[in-house]
Structure 1
Amino acid sequence: MTPQPPNEVLKELRSRLGITTRDVAELSEKIAESEGNPEFQISNAWLTQIENSDSVPSIFKLYSLSAIYRLKFTELLRLYGLDLQKLGLHQLAAPLPHTHLATLDVYDADRTISFPVRFDRSFDLDNTNLLSRIVELWGEVPIALIQHLDIRHGQYGYVGLQDFTLYPLLRPGSFVQIDSRARRVQPLRWRTEFDRPIYFVELRDGYACSWCDLLDDQLLLLPHPLSPCSARKFKYRIDAEIVGQVTGVAMRLTDASDSAPGGNARLPRRV
């Protein structure tokens, strides 16, 4: 079935609300006055043209239509082919070289995603398994419900493609979950490198993800022993501030280049 053109959808929305183009013009004038910006104002002639052509409204006029028609702004954007939920996919397709904070934005909390709502009681947590075999029932869960998980206490970071500080423990291109409540270097002993706390650090010219040690007023960023990177030292709370402790990692274990036939693994140069 061919989707209804945006101009026809707008005309139908206005008709269902029982308002005229002049009513829309008067209501939009109030929005423009409230915002102090005439771009929000919609004239009778302009709306008539939009409803009878394939013209695309500006973001200001779309905002006014969203308020007047009682329709979510994201729905109007999607009507014109702009889905904000795809922003994350485009960000993944355009990775950046330097480590930085990442966002986890939900632009439409009422939209649903597939989520496991019941697990197979017979599966064993101690054994590795496929998620598809563990989940007994999948359901459509509102994104707003997922937001009630502990996401509010976490931030998310991306390890840049040129950041080999904790390589090979933490590979470039990884996404990390950060607990912003844990912002102090823990002077605790650890048994293995996997137990050692990893911190996400904000610097004057960017970010870093590494092991840390505090020596007087100096914050030391310590690389993995196999990393090509050297230790770095910054003035604590002046040139470097701890964003939080890394509590989770999403990381690829291999790249296409790593699995190429006859290819030899190479460590990057020490910097």
Structure 2
Amino acid sequence: MLGIGRDLRAARNRMGFTLQEVEEFSEQLAQRWGNSKYRVSGSWLDRIELHNRALSAIKLIVLSFIYNLTPAHILAMRPGTDSNPSDPDPVSVPNCTLVITEGPLAEHAKRWLPDALIVNEAPENATLLDPIPGLLPPHIKRAIIGRKDRNMEPMIFPGSVIAFDSTRRSIAHRREWHNEFERPIYILFARTGFYCGFCELDRKEEWLTLVPHMLSPEPRKGRWRYRKEIEVLGTVTHISSARLQLPVRPVAPIEPSSTAA
């Protein structure tokens, strides 16, 4: 199709993607779909946008998938139409709350958060999830926080799905972060299972302690020989938050003081 470069740039800007991000996304799709022709070069796309050059149907397919464009919106990009392609359906806007029911975004959401995790009860303990070929880089892994894992509550509620970078396994020094939002969160594996939380090392870096969030109802309950009894699987990078209805712990009534006035 000729003469749609301006509209493609408008669609890319609405999604908030850079040329480099579109190129990286297209490379993932090309690997996932098993066809290198779906790869879109950032420099090539820049020329298309600036000079309204023609592009093939296969490139249009991958761009429409990345920008979440409907067939009606693509047809509206044809030169001479009365429609305004710069004002598509709100589903293309990433910076607003959306109810996703169908289309590429719905497929992406289901792969990130499978329906079974919403319908079924979360596992009792933290559990690794199967990788998503072609959607996430190989070093990015996923896990679900179990119902009994209240170590990071209320920052990470039980039932939440997290992504972690398996290449970032070193425990950050105290001087590398300034508050709880900057403090790295780690995924750990010991003989007793998986754990998620802040971590501390002793001065000799011989012992690792699992540190709960300051507002968590859980006490400090984990201490292992570093790299012998426990393995750091990675650092948490993304959190898909969920809040499960958990039983409230009973609190003993406070007896009135005999000296009260």
TM range (shorter): 0.3 to 0.5
- Taking structure 1 as the reference length, the TM-score comes to 0.45
